[in-house]
Structure 1
Amino acid sequence: MVTKEKPKTGMYENVQNQFNKAADLMKLNPNVRKILSITNTEIVVNFPVKMDNGEVEVFKGYRVQHNNALGPYKGGLRFHPTVDIDSARALATWMTWKTSLAGLPYGGGKGGVEIDPSKYSQAELERITRRFTYALGDNIGPEHDIPAPDVNTNAQMMAWIADTYMSTKGPLERSKNQHVVIGKPVGSGGLEGRDRATGFGVVVNIKAWAERNGVSLKGKTFIVQGFGNVGYWASYFMQEEGAILVGVQDAKATYYNADGMDVATLYNHTKLHGGFLKGYEHAQEIDPKEFFGIECDICIPAALGNQITEENAGMIKASVIAEGANGPIDTAGEEILLDKGVHIIPDILCNAGGVIGSYFEWLQNRNGELWSLDEVMEKLEKKLREAHQKVHMTAETYKTDWRTAAYIQAISRIEMAYLQRGIFP
Structure 2
Amino acid sequence: MVAAATRRAAMPALLRSMTTSATQVACESHEPTFLQSVESYYDQAAKISNVNPGTLSHLRAVDSLLRVTFPIELGDGKYEVIEGYRAQHSRHRLPVKGGIRYSEEVDLQEVEALASLMTYKCAVVDVPFGGAKGGVKIDPRKYTVEQLERITRRFTMELCQKNFIGVGTDVPAPDVGTGPREMSWIVDTYRQFNPNDVNAAGCVTGKPLSQGGVRGRTESTGLGIYYSIREFLSYPEVQKKTGLTGQVKDASVVVQGFGNVGYYVSKFFENNGAKVIGVGERDCAIYDPNGLNVEDLHKYYTEKGTFRGFSSTAQIIEDSVKILETECDILIPAALERQIGLVNCDKIKAKVIGEGANGPVTPAAHEALEKRGVVVLPDLLLNAGGVTVSYFEWLKNLSHVRFGRMNKKWDEAMRLKLFTLVEENAGRTLTEAERKAIVHGAEEADLVYSGLEDTMIQACEETRQTASLKNVDFRTAAYLNAIQKIAAVYEGSGMLFMH
* Pick aligned residue for 2:88 from 56, 65, 69: 65
Runs of 5+ unmatched residues, structure 1: none
Q: Which amino acid aligns with 1:65?
A: Q
Match of 2:322 in 1: 290
Aligned 1:291-330 pairs, distance under 5 A? 291-330=323-362
| 8 Å Cα contact 2:94/2:170 also seen in 1 | no
Q: Which amino acid aligns with 2:250?
A: G
Structure-2 separation of matches of 1:185 and 1:289: 33
> How far did 1:130 drift?
1.1
Q: Which amino acid aligns with 1:128?
A: I
* Pick aligned residue for 1:386 from 447, 458, 463: 458
| 8 Å Cα contact 1:70/1:100 also seen in 2 | no
| 8 Å Cα contact 1:297/1:320 also seen in 2 | yes
Match of 1:411 in 2: 483
Structure-1 separation of matches of 2:71 and 2:154: 8
Match of 1:280 in 2: 310
> How far did 1:385 drift?
0.5
| 8 Å Cα contact 1:61/1:132 also seen in 2 | yes
| 8 Å Cα contact 2:205/2:393 also seen in 1 | yes
> How far did 1:8 drift?
3.4
Match of 2:145 in 1: 122
Secondary structure of the corresponding residue to residue 365 of structure 1: helix
Match of 1:47 in 2: 70
Distance 1:127 1:72, change over 3 A: same
* Pick aligned residue for 1:162 from 179, 183, 187: 187
Runs of 5+ unmatched residues, structure 2: 1-27, 237-244, 404-443
Q: Which amino acid aligns with 1:355?
A: V
Q: Which amino acid aligns with 2:102?
A: F
Secondary structure of the corresponding residue to residue 422 of structure 1: coil
Distance 1:278 1:129, change over 3 A: farther
> How far did 1:218 drift?
1.1
Secondary structure of the corresponding residue to residue 282 of structure 2: coil
| 8 Å Cα contact 2:202/2:397 also seen in 1 | yes
| 8 Å Cα contact 2:31/2:364 also seen in 1 | no
Q: Does 1:367 align with 2:399?
A: yes
* Pick aligned residue for 1:232 from 243, 263, 269: 263
Match of 1:104 in 2: 127
> How far did 1:54 drift?
4.1
Q: Does 1:355 align with 2:387?
A: yes
Query: Which has more radius of gyration?
Result: 2
Structure-2 separation of matches of 1:193 and 1:154: 14
Secondary structure of the corresponding residue to residue 178 of structure 1: helix
Structure-1 separation of matches of 2:232 and 2:465: 13
Secondary structure of the corresponding residue to residue 81 of structure 1: coil
> How far did 1:271 drift?
2.0
Secondary structure of the corresponding residue to residue 224 of structure 1: strand
Structure-2 separation of matches of 1:313 and 1:400: 20
Q: Deviations over 1:201-252 (max 9, x none)?
A: 0000111011223511113111111100000000000001111111111112
| 8 Å Cα contact 2:99/2:133 also seen in 1 | yes
Structure-2 separation of matches of 1:180 and 1:289: 37
Q: Which amino acid aligns with 2:254?
A: I
Structure 1 vs Structure 2 CA RMSD: 1.3
Q: Which amino acid aligns with 2:165?
A: I
Structure-2 separation of matches of 1:6 and 1:78: 26
Structure-2 separation of matches of 1:111 and 1:277: 31
Match of 2:210 in 1: 187
| 8 Å Cα contact 2:283/2:320 also seen in 1 | no
Q: Deviations over 1:87-141 (max 9, x none)?
A: 1111000000000111111000001111111111122111111111112222111
- Farther off after superposition, 51-60 or 370-379: 51-60
Match of 2:165 in 1: 140
> How far did 1:70 drift?
2.3
> How far did 1:47 drift?
1.3
Relative to the length of structure 2, the TM-score reads: 0.82
Structure-2 separation of matches of 1:60 and 1:132: 9
> How far did 1:368 drift?
0.7
Structure-2 separation of matches of 1:314 and 1:20: 25
Match of 1:252 in 2: 283
Q: Does 1:221 align with 2:252?
A: yes
Structure-2 separation of matches of 1:82 and 1:25: 34
> How far did 1:176 drift?
2.2
| 8 Å Cα contact 2:353/2:375 also seen in 1 | yes
Secondary structure of the corresponding residue to residue 359 of structure 2: coil
| 8 Å Cα contact 1:52/1:124 also seen in 2 | no
Secondary structure of the corresponding residue to residue 269 of structure 1: helix
Secondary structure of the corresponding residue to residue 47 of structure 2: helix
Q: Which amino acid aligns with 1:29?
A: N
Number of aligned residue pairs: give it: 418
Q: Which amino acid aligns with 1:384?
A: M
Structure-1 separation of matches of 2:353 and 2:49: 25
- Farther off after superposition, 209-218 or 73-82: 209-218
Secondary structure of the corresponding residue to residue 64 of structure 1: strand
Secondary structure of the corresponding residue to residue 401 of structure 2: coil
Distance 1:218 1:46, change over 3 A: same
> How far did 1:29 drift?
1.0
Q: Which amino acid aligns with 1:25?
A: I
Structure-1 separation of matches of 2:143 and 2:233: 43
Structure-2 separation of matches of 1:258 and 1:271: 23
Q: Deviations over 1:25-65 (max 9, x none)?
A: 11321110110121000101111111244421111111000
Secondary structure of the corresponding residue to residue 158 of structure 1: helix
Structure-2 separation of matches of 1:314 and 1:113: 35
| 8 Å Cα contact 1:45/1:136 also seen in 2 | no
- Farther off after superposition, 245-254 or 58-67: 245-254
Q: Which amino acid aligns with 1:272?
A: E
- Farther off after superposition, 216-225 or 229-238: 216-225
Match of 2:4 in 1: none
Q: Percent sequence identity over matched residues?
A: 40
Structure-2 separation of matches of 1:279 and 1:147: 38
Match of 1:149 in 2: 174
Distance 1:367 1:312, change over 3 A: same
Structure-2 separation of matches of 1:53 and 1:264: 43
